[in-house]
Amino acid sequence: MPEAIVYSVVIPMYNEEEVISETYRRLKLVMDSTQEPYELVFVNDGSQDRTEYIVQSLCLADPRVRLLNFSRNFGHQAAISAGMDYAEGKAILVIDADLQDPPEVMLDMIDKWKEGYEVVYGKRLKRRGEGLFKKVTAHLFYRFLKSMTHVEVPVDAGDFRLIDRKVCDATKQLREKNRYVRGLISWVGFRQASVEYVREERWAGETKYPLRKMVRFAADAITSFSYKPLKLASYLGFTLSALSFLYLLTVLYQKLFTNTTIVGWTSIVAMNLFFYGIMMMILGIIGEYIGRIYDESKDRPLYIVRNQAGYEQRFEEELP
């Protein structure tokens, strides 16, 4: 009988051909030093470059390497979810493929886990080599999200973390479609601790998170954990109707009791523009939620695995 796997490292990858061999080398160094059985679960999120073939060859050379190939790009959060679904270890570590999260920090996470914490997340002290725009938006995003929700989602913590098997199983029960995984992990609770680290520069390649994906990610995070935008929309609606009502009284008064000529064209146009703008915004907010309800009701799978590698060898080993 092969020894039970203790650590599963989940690595989501999208077009990471430039870094992935180096990532493997660093991960292997760190994980070998634990001297416990582990697996590396590489999740290829529909890369169009050579990522798949590089990991495929790693698979052939190292039985601890697993590869899941998605049928297309399903997104970072879906890739992490897949890794968590397939991971077999007692502790699951999620790490980006680009070496921005230093693999060595995983050893600190493991220490905390051994102390009895069930979630150990990495808290970014500093972000190196990221543009001002990314830093500022990320900073604002985490604080805005915190003000919007009751769930204790730690600020400045990414998906780089260790979770215990129990947490993984609990999180797996939450099958919502537009996922914000770190929020789900906070939602399930358990004993949480953090380790601080400095986020490094990307080892090679470019970010796979263009603005479009960032906006979507932020919208998913907020809508999955808060109704506040809807509440704000309705408060705004009430306030504006109250103000409009007062203005209506003024207008009626003018009409009935004074003979000032109507000179209101500018105010009508201004009010129209203002109110239509607000209305569209509120409809947009409602639309964000309805779209997500629609996604839920379709109940499509979170991702589709085209094929997998690295699992067969183990099954052969397990034969008598």
Q: By CB under 6 A, name the one of 81, 100, 149, 224 that touches ligand UDP.
A: 100
* Separation CA 153–CA 151 (nearest Å): 6
CB of 134 to ligand UDP, least distance (A): 7
Helical ranges in the chain per DSSP H: 20-32, 51-61, 76-86, 105-115, 132-148, 165-172, 181-188, 211-225, 228-257, 265-298, 312-318
Residue 96 lies near ligand UDP (rule: CB under 6 A): yes
Q: By CB under 6 A, name the one of 142, 144, 209, 311 that touches ligand UDP.
A: 209
Residue 23 lies near Mg ion (rule: CB under 5 A): no
CB of 181 to ligand UDP, least distance (A): 11
Q: By CB under 6 A, name the one of 10, 55, 79, 184 that touches ligand UDP.
A: 79
Consecutive H or E run containing 157: strand 157-164
Q: Are strands 119-127 and 157-164 parallel, antiparallel or unpaired?
A: antiparallel
CB of 103 to Mg ion, least distance (A): 14
Residue 52 lies near Mg ion (rule: CB under 5 A): no
In angstroms, the Cα distances linking 131 to 14, 128, 134, 197, 207 are 20, 9, 5, 19, 11
In angstroms, the Cα distances linking 172 to 43, 130, 253, 262 are 17, 32, 62, 64
* Separation CA 301–CA 278 (nearest Å): 36
* Separation CA 79–CA 76 (nearest Å): 5
Task: Please report, as residue ranges, which positions from 162 to 181 form the binding site for ligand UDP (by CB under 6 A).
Answer: none
Q: By CB under 6 A, name the one of 16, 17, 118, 220 that touches ligand UDP.
A: 16
Q: Give, in degrees to the nearest 5, the angle at Cα 212 between 224 and 44.
A: 80
User: With contact defined as beta carbons under 8 Å apart, do 197 and 124 qualify?
Assistant: yes
Residue 76 lies near ligand UDP (rule: CB under 6 A): yes
Task: Please report, as residue ranges, which positions from 89 to 128 form the binding site for Mg ion (by CB under 5 A).
Answer: 96, 98, 100
Based on CB atoms, which residue is closest to Mg ion, 8 or 100?
Answer: 100
CB of 46 to ligand UDP, least distance (A): 8
CB of 204 to Mg ion, least distance (A): 11
Spatial CA neighbour of 17 closest among 68, 62, 55, 71:
55
Residue 89 lies near ligand UDP (rule: CB under 6 A): no
Residue 103 lies near ligand UDP (rule: CB under 6 A): no
Contacting residues toward ligand UDP, per CB under 6 A: 12-14, 16, 45, 73, 75-76, 79, 96-98, 100, 207-209
Contacting residues toward Mg ion, per CB under 5 A: 96, 98, 100
